[in-house]
Amino acid sequence: MMTITFERAAEPQLFAHISSSSGILGHAREIRERIPPGTWLTLQPCLSRVGPWLVCKCGFRYMGVLVVGDELHELLQRTGD
């Protein structure tokens, strides 16, 4: 089961948080349908391997890295299909 929650930061920035007990691979269609264009997504270092998949299959664009504590999280933005 996959869960997508949203957090509104400083207007008009919307962040999505994806969690899944079975992983997100295979959920490209659901991700494209539920996460609107313009939404930001951060990937923890342990999830960085799914970044290229999100770019290729789900309409995200790699935007750089974000420092969170002492870790570098990949920053992606949903651009659409």
* Overall domain count for the chain: 1
Render pLDDT for 12-28 as a digit per residue (tens, 0 to 9).
788 888 877 777 888 88
- Residue 15's DSSP bridge partners are 7, 40
CA distance 26 to 40: 20
What is the domain range of residue 18?
A: 2-78
pTM: 0.80
Q: What is the pLDDT of residue 81?
A: 61
Rounded Cα distance between 55 and 15, Å, is: 16
Q: Enumerate the H helices of the chain as residue ranges.
A: 28-34, 51-58
